[in-house]
Amino acid sequence: MKKSLITSIAFAFVMLLTTNVNAQKFPGLDKSPMDAASHPNDYKVSNKVAKIVYGRPQLNDRSLEELAPNGKQWRLGANEAAEISFYKDVTFGGKAIKAGTYTMSAIPGEKEWTLILSSDINVWGSYFYNESNDVARIKVKATMADESLEAFSIVFDKDGTMHMGWDKVRVSVPMM
């Protein structure tokens, strides 16, 4: 009797756990999925210099000016503020940056963008941006491409230049 009581309790406990696990609801895919780009971008190289994690908003028949207006500070992506980690001291757009993690945002413009590295991390969007926590501001040229990109995209080339593109706008910042 004692053995069957223990077996019954164990069975009830397993069923309770199984029911809880099966009842868990998982959300659908985010409309602006999170992505990452790193340098070097070869997955076989584990000794990275930099990695940026950012949300990838889509145009979805909206204008770039509506989503990232010229002259206004923008989170550089969607959802959480983009976070860039430098695993060693670097020169980023001509500015000396210490190893560490920073949020990265931008002030888009027609001819140039201002990229902003801030010591604030773990923030959502641009709502908590505090200019007094800026580590660096870097001005980079904005160019127009022939091809339109539906999703905001970031990639590093083999030389360490970080390229950003959305719609037909392209912005690049060198890193050493």
Query: Which of 6-20, 84-98, 135-149 has the least mean pLDDT?
Result: 6-20
pLDDT of 1 above 60:
no
Token code pair at residue 51: 């990695």
Q: Say whether pLDDT at 125 is over 80.
A: no
Q: What is the pLDDT of residue 76?
A: 93
Residue 109 pLDDT greater than 60, yes or no:
yes
pLDDT band, residue 8 (cuts 50/70/90)? low
CA distance 169 to 137: 20
Which whole number is the average pLDDT over 111-130?
89
Give me the pLDDT at residue 3, please. 65
Higher pLDDT, 54 or 125: 54
Render the burial of 32-49: b for 16+ CB within 10 Å, e for the rest: beeeebbbbeeeeeeebb
User: How confident is the model over 28-67, as pLDDT tens digits?
Assistant: 888 888 999 999 988 888 899 999 999 999 999 999 999 9
User: What's the pLDDT score for residue 11?
Assistant: 64
What is the pLDDT, as a whole number, of residue 5?
Answer: 61
Average pLDDT of the chain, as a whole number: 89
The rounded distance, in Å, linking the Cα atoms of 152 and 78 is 9
